[in-house]
Amino acid sequence: MQGAEVDALAEQLRALVALLDELSEDDFHLATRCPGWTVVELVAHCEGMLHRLVGENAQAVDGEPQIDRVGYYRYDPDGPREGEDPGATFSEVIRDRVIDEVGGRSGAGIRASLERAVDRAIEGVHNIPAGRVIKRSGHPRMTFGEFVASRSLEFGVHTMDIAHAVGRPEQAEPGARDIIVGILDGLLGRPVPRSVGWDATTYILTGTGRRKATAAERDALGTLAGKFPLLR
């Protein structure tokens, strides 16, 4: 697979690695705004996503694609998934998995491991056809290319989460930022009105529930205000 989606993902992943290079061991144990997750756990979550991106989530399945990058986020994130505890929410399942993925590693150790995972994932993505139909657990079928695009949102937003936790500027890289904004526009059903006055970062933070819209912004959004957050 080649193209803008791959370039955007690679750019965002390199930015994440560069951010982690700046952190002290204490920084890795700071709480993030993702409830119950520290920086090191969020990094482990990112590492796991990279392994699955070119592993189990890249396996070809029969059938036509049913959703695209926007449709991927139109599902209920709570409730059981196939093969998982029916009494657990999706967030709880991920949380339990991440604890195992941290495995007692230090911040420096998990940063080095993530960098290796980034290199393997970027190389692996280049060797997988964009048109391959895949099916991630809990989601309808989609093409691998659209799934890769969805990863720009995941890694872009989690890079911003880590930056927030350690007091660094929050921003996604340009290519990933444009993909994220496009996905949010798709979930909203149209671009955000200019009168709201948001830049891309503010839109991303508000659209993903990391920031609440002010009363004035909700007035400017009008009937669109009730759609926020667009995803969590």
6, 43, 56, 193, 217 from 144: Cα distances, Å: 11, 23, 12, 32, 36
What does the pLDDT read at residue 105?
A: 81
| Beta-bridge mates of residue 38 | 31
Higher model confidence: residue 88 or residue 226?
226
Q: What is the mean pLDDT of residues 104-109?
A: 86
**pTM flag (> 0.85):** yes
Place of tokens 């705004």: 33
Six-digit token string for 199: 């830049």
10, 29, 64, 162 from 155: Cα distances, Å: 10, 19, 27, 10
95, 147, 158, 181 from 17: Cα distances, Å: 22, 21, 12, 22
Query: Are 1 and 126 contacting, i.e. CB atoms less than 8 angstroms apart?
Result: yes
- Residue 28 exposed, middle or buried by CB count within 10 Å (0-12, 13-18, 19+): buried
Answer yes or no: is pLDDT of 72 > 90: yes
Q: Which amino acid is at 212?
A: K
Answer yes or no: is pLDDT of 82 > 80: no
Model confidence at 138, pLDDT cuts 50, 70, 90, reads confident
